[in-house]
């Protein structure tokens, strides 16, 4: 049997998912004058569109930006704002910074885990809510704080936590 060089083999057919990734990358890159320094903005745009940065997306990003897969993977795994799994319908980010902790943040976190029925850093089995840590929202004077679906919520106490839990359950 004759061996063929890698370049002589036909490229594998792209999945519908891969086509969607490539189209999204192409749309983003069309609006960029220079491809340098666009990795973070591109990843944010892709996460906005797809809800997370799937491992299958990494090679397409690497190819588009002429980077190694390791470079792209390193950025995705380093920054906490990039999700590698789909988030729930609602995302609650609880602040773990010192100021919020000093104002009762740990107790609020324990109560949130219990009330929402989801561990920190995970999504509920029904896909309703994702509970994530965040390290300082810049609202230190009004802690404990959270972001609920991107909206800042300050001075969280037991009553406010109950209202938030009811809001995400609806």
Q: What is the CATH number for 159? A: 3.40.30.10
Query: pLDDT value at position 126?
Result: 92
Tell whether residue 100 is among the known ligand binding residues. Answer: yes
Single out the residue in 78, 103, 130 at which a domain terminates: 78
Q: Do 52 and 30 share a structural domain?
A: yes
Beta strand 122-123 pairing with 129-134: antiparallel
| pLDDT tens by residue, the chain, 170 residues | 555 555 565 556 678 888 888 888 888 888 776 667 899 999 999 999 998 999 988 999 999 898 999 999 999 999 888 999 899 999 999 999 999 999 999 999 999 999 999 999 999 999 999 999 999 999 999 999 999 999 999 999 999 999 999 998 87
d(CA 61, CA 153): 34
Are 98 and 58 found together in one domain?
A: no
Residue 85 lies in a domain: no
Q: Which domain holds residue 96?
A: 90-169
Residue 24 within a domain: yes
Q: Is 83 annotated as a binding residue?
A: no
Task: Give the pLDDT confidence score for residue 10 in this predicted structure.
Answer: 56
Q: Are 77 and 47 in contact (CB under 8 A)?
A: no
In a domain? residue 7? no
Please identify which residue in the block is written with the tokens 């949130």: 112
Q: Write down the pLDDT at residue 41.
A: 92
28 is in an annotated binding site: no
pTM confidence score: 0.74
Q: Is residue 95 annotated as involved in ligand binding?
A: yes
Beta strand 146-148 with 90-95: parallel, antiparallel or unpaired? Answer: antiparallel
Per the structure, how many domains does the chain have?
2
56 neighbors 17 (Cβ within 8 angstroms): yes
CATH number of the domain encompassing residue 69: 1.10.10
pLDDT of residue 114: 95
């Amino acid at each position: 049997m004759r061996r063929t060089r890698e370049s002589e083999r036909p490229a594998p057919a792209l999945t519908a998912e891969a086509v969607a990734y490539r189209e999204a990358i192409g749309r983003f890159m069309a609006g960029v004058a220079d491809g340098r320094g666009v990795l973070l903005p591109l990843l944010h745009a892709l996460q906005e569109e797809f809800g997370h940065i799937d491992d299958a997306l990494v090679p397409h990003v690497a190819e588009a930006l002429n980077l190694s897969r390791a470079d792209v993977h390193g950025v995705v795994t380093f920054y906490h704002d990039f999700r590698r799994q789909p988030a729930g319908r609602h995302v609650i980010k609880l602040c773990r910074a010192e100021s919020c902790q000093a104002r009762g943040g740990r107790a609020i976190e324990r109560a949130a885990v219990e009330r929402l029925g989801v561990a920190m850093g995970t999504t509920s089995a029904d896909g309703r809510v994702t509970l994530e840590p965040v390290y300082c929202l810049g609202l230190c004077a009004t802690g404990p704080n959270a972001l609920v679906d991107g909206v800042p919520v300050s001075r969280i106490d037991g009553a406010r936590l109950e209202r938030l839990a009811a809001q995400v359950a609806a």
